[in-house]
Copies of this chain bind each other. A is one copy, B any other.
Amino acid sequence: MESKAVTESRRGKLLSFYRKNRRMPNITEMMDLFGLSSRSSAFYASERLIEEGYANKDRTGKLVPAPGLFRVPLLGHIRAGFAAPAEEELADTVTIGDYLIDDPNASYLLQVEGDSMQDAGIQSGDMVVFERSQRFKPGDIVVALTEDGYTLKYLRKKGQTFFLEAANDRYPDIHPKEGEILGRVTSTFRKY
């Protein structure tokens, strides 16, 4: 029984279709996509894909992507400087966009220039997602709008007063005015 392999190959075609058309195929399109010549065969095939966790169906019967479809293999953990074993078998599911942005309506992007947050692992050119809100606490990396423009800094607290500290010794602290802090950095990403 090579059914597993067939279904796996169809997962690839399904994923390609989804990436190209930004929607899942309907039964007729699956027929073409899989090279079948009967719509009922495609219907049968779709049920296999659902069994494998690659897709789901609406209450209306429409095909919808399941998390498994986007699966990017998570190989394991890189331990310390001197590496450690990792379970190649283990595959976990991460949909990166949704993972990085919790509240799409309050989230904004900033591209970082300069080295003020270098010691916090944020380099020049990195993209920063920040959530516009007043719910931040000491230790958070915050986006502040000072008279000079946007800044990225650690929020610190000394006694009752907040101040902004760069993650780079070469920059002095800043004491922000009321309402200058726009939000909290929730994630960052970088492309090489």
Contacts and interface: CB of A to CB of B under 8 A. Distances in A.
Copies in the assembly, this chain: 2
Interface in A85-124: 85-86, 92, 94-101, 104-105, 107-116, 118, 121-123
A148 B77 contact: no
B186 A189 contact: no
Contact of A73 (B86, B108, B115, B190): B108
Interface of chain A, main secondary structure: mixed
Contacts of A123: 121
Given A72-B109, A95-B97, A114 B80 contact: yes
Interface of A: 12, 15, 19, 21-24, 58, 62, 64-65, 70, 72-86, 92, 94-101, 104-105, 107-116, 118, 121-123, 126-129, 140-141, 143, 146, 148-152, 166, 168, 170-171, 185-192
18 contacts: A19-B98, A21-B58, A23-B64, A72-B107, A75-B110, A77-B150, A78-B152, A79-B149, A80-B113, A81-B170, A82-B114, A83-B150, A84-B148, A85-B149, A86-B110, A94-B127, A96-B101, A186-B191
Given A12-B105, A76-B149, A186-B191, 13 more contacts: A19-B98, A23-B23, A23-B24, A72-B104, A72-B107, A74-B109, A79-B114, A83-B146, A86-B149, A96-B101, A97-B97, A118-B121, A187-B192
